[in-house]
């Protein structure tokens, strides 16, 4: 037994001799941040995206594969505001990686750099799955993407100083392209202003704020609580009285509740990509918002 | 907007014009003086323009920043950092659990036939009882350490410290050290708290070989390999206070473990983890009571070496890798123990000391399927092998039954939210020879306060 302990220790210390790889290893909690780091980092970064658009980011399990990837990350880019509270703390604690611990340059929470909406005034689990820091789904407003990009740039240059000029140039090119895309999207989205909508999960307040949509109701009676039939019946009466045009949900949401309601109320049920990879056209950040707006516009035609 | 060059030229020209009349009339010395003065003025203006320009640039940058901000939301107030004396308080979680048990056999004489009892085993009390309720307090201590305490309150009004440990966070190169009292990292189920178990009770093999769960006072080191496939190696040395070890008054370590776990994803839908662990203890005077060949209840004591191997695996399936709607989990573990040393038969009255050697094993396999949100069903089947037991000269005094204990359980649970769970479990427990126990359990598990992340 003593020998096997010794062998284990020697294997561990052999491991210590391993060198670091060339590209900057980035662990992105959600696809939108993986895509953003790709825009800024180009071929100087190697990105692992922990979740896909078809997964509910609130309910990821701390799988072994995620722990292994956190172990070798130089930079962790996550949403924060407790979106990843159910899994990220385990990855951090088990990673044995000092570079990505909170407070270090390698730990980046996007929600720290934008204005948070829906900060709860009452913290009570009876209110469902509430996030004390505010609604974490900040990526539904593309203006937030630029703010996060601005905050991400100094982190990249700080961690990978040698490629600072490269990151700066890519950031500038991205910001320019993004600003003109923003203008285009806002112009296209003018007809959406004031559009009454119903959401499945309260995942779109930032988009509503950006485009001037009016959220009339949510299918989830409380955030994170599955729609119930009595609540759906209540929402149905609201649809009829408030001329709701569309029910929207994220790509990962189960579509049955919104399809049920759409059929009863004779209105559209839309699955929005919600993040990069959430639809065929949302292959990158630009595609994400283009497709989102096109889908919304299609509902009012 | 300013532009430096035309501006300087304009001012320079103006100055030239003003001074040109005087220049014509003046002598060369005067001319030189005027030249110098103009030069000075020019430099002066140049400097002022430069400073103005810097200020302008700053203002522009500020405006751009304000622009980005303005283009963003302004409806939510920006809050300052949280304040107050309790803002650094650790995360406190409370798990409340209770059961109703209907057992066809009397739990008071529960014993796994052919196995050395470990104390904390059996189906628990009949009727209503409090199940294990836990109070956990965890927090980062500083940038280098994380720590926590977990109190378990037992149905019989006793409390015990399940966990009280400190561990390093963010050591470099995949290393983590843990010290204090903790659940050993061996096997798959061993590290999991009772409130995350998929069944009301732990498998028979865990009860028989680990006294339900191995808690350790000691030191643990884990190393995570820098590979994309999860590979973790760990070792522990500890007091060995709990079964299969025994508390003792001695320097050094009474138990040591070594374990390796590997894991990863297969495509997007599947993930897995598998492991191999070894636990070595040297129990001193580990006492237990048993019915001997004459039918009397006697107390024996074992002193010697105990070695336990555990092979474990878990495989999870979730469509698109999203377990929220439906998911399936298959897990199984195989445990094999060898013990050798001395056995004192009737240790309290007229001890007969003999040699003792045993090799026993057991396994369980279980599957849990969440078929719609909130609802899960589970099936568990398990079996122990009494294997070979040799009491030496005490073979005449003690029974060596040739029996294979088995148990089958089925459960269904409903979780209105991730903080609450209600469970019904039916089991047929044949761990006692000739006395099949038909068991019905109803259980609630509720968690209040901070709800920490769960391990895989
Ligand atoms: Zn949410």
Residue B120 has pLDDT above 90, yes or no: no
- Chain mean pLDDT for chain B: 84
Residue in A3, A13, A15, A118 to test binding to B, most B beta-carbons within 10 Å: A15
Mean pLDDT over B426-444 rounds to 94
Residue B378 lies in a domain: yes
Mean pLDDT over B217-245 rounds to 93
Q: How far is A275 from chain B (nearest CA, A)?
A: 15
**Domains recognised in chain A with CATH numbers:** 24-185 (3.40.50.1980), 189-299 (3.40.50.1980)
The pLDDT score that the predictor gives to residue B75 is 37
Q: How far is A65 from chain B (nearest CA, A)?
A: 5
The pLDDT score that the predictor gives to residue B451 is 73
User: Which residues have C-beta within 8 Å of that of residue B206, sequence separation ≥ 6?
Assistant: B187, B189, B190, B212, B213, B333, B335
Local structure of B62: helix, strand or coil: helix
Residue B64 has pLDDT above 90, yes or no: no
Distance A201 CA to ligand 1 centre (A): 7
Q: What is the pTM of this model?
A: 0.83
Dig out the tokens for A174 from the structure.
């991205």
Of A93, A147, A224, the CB nearest to B169: A93
Residue A22 has pLDDT above 80, yes or no: no
Residue B36 lies in a domain: no
User: Which residues have C-beta within 8 Å of that of residue B251, sequence separation ≥ 6?
Assistant: none
**B5-19 burial string, b = 16+ CB within 10 Å, else e?**
eeeeeebeeeeeeeb
Check A59 against B323: CB less than 8 A apart: yes
The pLDDT score that the predictor gives to residue B221 is 97
Residue B28 lies in a domain: no
Of B78, B224, B229, the CB nearest to A96: B224
Note which residues in 23-62 of chain B have CB less than 8 A from chain A. none
Which range, A9-18, B80-89, B261-270, B297-306, is most confident?
B261-270
Residue B111 has pLDDT above 80, yes or no: yes
The pLDDT score that the predictor gives to residue B42 is 66
CB distance from A178 to chain B under 8 Å?
A: no
Residue B49 lies in a domain: no
Local structure of B25: helix, strand or coil: helix
Residue B38 lies in a domain: no
The pLDDT score that the predictor gives to residue A147 is 96
* pLDDT tens track for B291-326: 888 888 899 999 999 999 999 999 999 999 999 889
The pLDDT score that the predictor gives to residue B291 is 85
The pLDDT score that the predictor gives to residue B59 is 54
Check B72 against A114: CB less than 8 A apart: yes
CB distance from A262 to chain B under 8 Å?
A: no
Q: Give the ipTM of the model, two decimals please.
A: 0.86
CB distance from A46 to chain B under 8 Å?
A: no
Residue B140 lies in a domain: yes
Quickly count: other Cβ atoms within 10 Å of residue B279's Cβ. 30
The pLDDT score that the predictor gives to residue B186 is 96
Residue B54 has pLDDT above 60, yes or no: no
Q: Are A140 and A207 in contact (CB under 8 A)?
A: yes
CB distance from B315 to chain A under 8 Å?
A: no
Distance A75 CA to ligand 1 centre (A): 24
For residue B367, the domain's CATH number is: 2.40.160.10
CB distance from B100 to chain A under 8 Å?
A: no
Residue B439 lies in a domain: yes
Check A85 against B453: CB less than 8 A apart: yes
CB distance from A135 to chain B under 8 Å?
A: no
What is the rounded distance in angstroms from the CA atom of residue A75 to the CA atom of residue A107? 6
Residue A295 has pLDDT above 90, yes or no: yes
* pLDDT tens track for B271-286: 999 999 999 998 888 8
pLDDT-derived band at B26 (thresholds 50, 70, 90) equals very low
**Domain range for B89:** 84-449
CB distance from A87 to chain B under 8 Å?
A: yes
The pLDDT score that the predictor gives to residue B113 is 87
Question: What's the number of domains chain B is made of?
Answer: 1
The pLDDT score that the predictor gives to residue B30 is 65
Residue A15 has pLDDT above 70, yes or no: no
Distance A118 CA to ligand 1 centre (A): 11
Is the peptide bond between B129 and the residue preceding it cis, with omega within 30 degrees of 0? no
Q: Which residues on A lie below 8 Å from B233 (Cβ)? A: 8, 11-12
- Chain mean pLDDT for chain A: 89
Q: What is the DSSP track for B105-140?
A: S-GGG---TTS---SS-SS--SEEEE--EEEEEEEE
Residue B201 lies in a domain: yes
Beta pairing class for B375-390 and B406-417: antiparallel
């Amino acid at each position: 037994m003593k020998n096997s302990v010794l062998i284990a220790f020697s294997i561990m210390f052999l491991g210590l001799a391993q060198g670091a790889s060339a590209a900057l290893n980035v662990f992105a909690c959600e696809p939108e941040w993986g895509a953003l780091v790709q825009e800024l980092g180009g071929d100087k970064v190697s990105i692992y995206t922990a979740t896909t658009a078809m997964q509910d980011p609130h309910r990821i399990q701390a799988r072994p594969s995620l722990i292994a990837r956190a172990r070798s990350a130089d930079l962790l880019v996550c949403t924060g505001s407790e979106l990843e509270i159910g899994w990220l703390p385990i990855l951090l604690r088990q990673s044995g990686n000092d570079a990505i611990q909170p407070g270090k340059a390698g730990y980046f929470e996007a929600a720290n750099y934008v204005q948070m909406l829906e900060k709860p005034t009452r913290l009570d689990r009876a209110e469902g799955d509430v996030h004390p820091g505010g609604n974490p789904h900040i990526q539904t407003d593309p203006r937030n993407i630029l703010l996060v990009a601005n905050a991400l740039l100094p982190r990249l240059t700080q961690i990978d100083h040698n490629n600072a000029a490269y990151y700066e140039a890519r950031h500038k090119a991205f910001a320019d392209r993004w600003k003109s895309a923003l203008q285009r999207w806002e112009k296209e989205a003018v007809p959406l202003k004031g559009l009454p909508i119903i959401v499945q999960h309260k995942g779109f307040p930032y988009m509503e704020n950006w485009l001037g949509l009016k959220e009339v109701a949510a299918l989830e009676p409380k955030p994170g609580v599955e729609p119930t039939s009595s609540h759906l019946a209540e929402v149905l009466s609201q649809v009829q009285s408030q001329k709701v045009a569309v029910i929207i949900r994220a790509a990962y949401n189960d579509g049955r509740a919104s399809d049920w309601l759409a059929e009863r109320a004779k209105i559209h049920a839309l699955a929005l990509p919600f993040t990069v990879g959430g639809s065929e056209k949302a292959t990158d950040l630009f595609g994400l918002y283009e497709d989102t707006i096109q889908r919304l516009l299609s509902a009012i035609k | 907007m300013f532009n430096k060059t035309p501006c300087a030229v304009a001012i320079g020209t103006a100055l030239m014009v003003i001074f040109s009349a005087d220049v014509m009339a003046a002598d060369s010395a005067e001319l030189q003086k005027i030249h110098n003065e103009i030069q000075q003025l020019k430099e002066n203006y140049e400097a002022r323009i430069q400073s103005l320009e810097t200020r302008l640039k700053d203002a522009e940058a500020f405006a751009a920043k304000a622009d980005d901000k303005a283009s963003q939301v302004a409806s939510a107030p920006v809050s300052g950092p949280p304040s107050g004396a309790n803002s650094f308080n650790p995360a406190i979680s409370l798990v409340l659990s209770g059961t109703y048990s209907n057992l066809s056999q009397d739990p008071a004489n529960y014993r796994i036939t052919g196995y050395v009892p470990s104390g904390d085993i059996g189906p628990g009390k009949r009727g209503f009882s409090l199940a294990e309720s836990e109070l956990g307090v965890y927090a980062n201590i500083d940038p280098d350490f994380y720590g926590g305490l977990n109190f378990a309150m037992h149905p019989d009004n006793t409390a015990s410290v399940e966990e009280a440990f400190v561990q390093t966070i963010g050591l470099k190169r995949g290393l983590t050290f843990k010290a204090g009292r903790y659940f050993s990292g061996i096997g798959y189920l061993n590290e999991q708290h009772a409130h995350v178990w998929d069944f009301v009770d732990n498998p028979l093999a865990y009860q028989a070989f680990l006294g339900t769960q191995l808690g350790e006072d000691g030191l643990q080191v884990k190393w995570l390999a820098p590979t994309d496939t999860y590979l973790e190696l760990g070792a522990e040395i500890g007091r060995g206070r709990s079964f299969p070890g025994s508390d003792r008054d001695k320097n050094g370590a009474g138990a040591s473990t070594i374990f390796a776990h590997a894991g990863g994803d297969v495509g997007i839908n599947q993930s897995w983890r598998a492991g191999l662990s070894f636990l070595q203890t040297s129990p001193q005077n580990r006492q237990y009571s048993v019915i001997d060949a004459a039918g009397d209840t006697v107390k024996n004591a074992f002193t010697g070496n105990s070695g336990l191997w555990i092979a474990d695996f878990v495989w999870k399936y979730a469509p698109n890798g999203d377990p929220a709607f439906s998911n399936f989990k298959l897990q199984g573990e195989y445990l094999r123990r060898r013990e050798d040393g001395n056995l004192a038969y009737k240790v309290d009255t007229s001890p007969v000391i003999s040699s003792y050697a045993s090799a026993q094993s057991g396994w369980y396999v279980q599957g849990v399927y969440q078929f719609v949100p909130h609802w899960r069903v589970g099936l568990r089947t398990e079996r122990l092998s009494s294997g070979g037991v040799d009491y030496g000269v005490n073979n005449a005094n003690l029974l060596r039954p040739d029996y294979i204990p088995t148990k089958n359980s089925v459960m269904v649970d409903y979780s209105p939210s991730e903080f609450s769970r209600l469970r019904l479990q039916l089991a047929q427990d044949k761990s006692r020879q000739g006395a099949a126990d038909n068991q019905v359990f109803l259980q609630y598990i509720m968690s209040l306060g901070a709800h920490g992340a769960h391990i895989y």
